[in-house]
Amino acid sequence: MSAEPKKSNNFIRNMIEDAIAKGDHTGDVVTRFPPEPNGYLHIGHAKSICLNFGIADTFKGRCNLRFDDTNPEKESQEYIDAITRDVNWLGYEWDGEIRYASDYFDTLYDFAIELIEKGKAYVCALTAEQMTAYRGTLKEPGKNSPYRDRPVEESLQLFRDMRDGKFQNGELVLRAKIDMASPNMNMRDPILYRIRYAEHHQTGNKWCIYPMYDFTHPISDAMEGITHSLCTLEFEDHRPLYDWVLENTSVPCRPRQTEFARLNLNYTVTSKRKLKRLVDEGHVAGWDDPRMPTVSGLRRRGYTPESIRQFCDMVGVNRAGGTVDVGMLEFAIREDLNARAPRAMCVMRPLKVTLTNYPAAQVETLSLPVHPQDDSMGQRDVPWTRTLYIDRDDFAEEPPRKWKRLAPQQAVRLRGGYVITCREVVRDGQGEIVELLCEYDANTLGVNPEGYKPNGVIHWVSAEDSVEAEVRLYDRLFNHESPDSDKEGDLTDHLNPDSLVIVTGARVERALAEPRQDLPYQFEREGYFFLDPELSGAGRPVFNRTVTLRDSWGKGGN
| Residue positions annotated with a catalytic role | 36, 262, 272
**Which DSSP symbol is given to 265?**
B
Query: What is the C-alpha to C-alpha distance for residues 21 and 74, in angstroms, rounded to an integer?
Result: 44
Q: Which amino acid is at 53?
A: F
CA dihedral 324, 330, 333, 336 (to 10 degrees): -90
Query: What is the C-alpha to C-alpha distance for residues 558 and 324, in angstroms, rounded to an integer?
Result: 18
113, burial (CB in 10 Å: exposed 0-12, middle 13-18, buried 19+): middle
Q: Comparing C-alpha atoms, which of 422, 334, 440 is closest to residue 386? A: 440
Q: Comparing C-alpha atoms, which of 190, 249, 185 is closest to residue 214? A: 190
Contacts of 519 (CB under 8 A, 6+ apart): 304, 337, 340, 341, 342, 530
**DSSP assignment string, 456-505:** -EE--EESTTEEEEEEEEE--SBSSSSTT--SSS-GGGGB-TTSEEEEEE
Contact between residue 177 and residue 121 where contact means Cβ atoms under 8 Å apart: yes
Query: What is the C-alpha to C-alpha distance for residues 17 and 21, in angstroms, rounded to an integer?
Result: 6
Contact between residue 240 and residue 187 where contact means Cβ atoms under 8 Å apart: yes
| Residue 550 CB-half CA count within 13 A | 7
Dump strand ranges (E) for 246-378.
Answer: 256-260, 343-344, 346-347, 350-355, 364-369
Q: H/E element holding 62?
A: strand 62-67
Parallel, antiparallel, or unpaired: how do β-strands 173-176 and 191-195 relate?
A: antiparallel
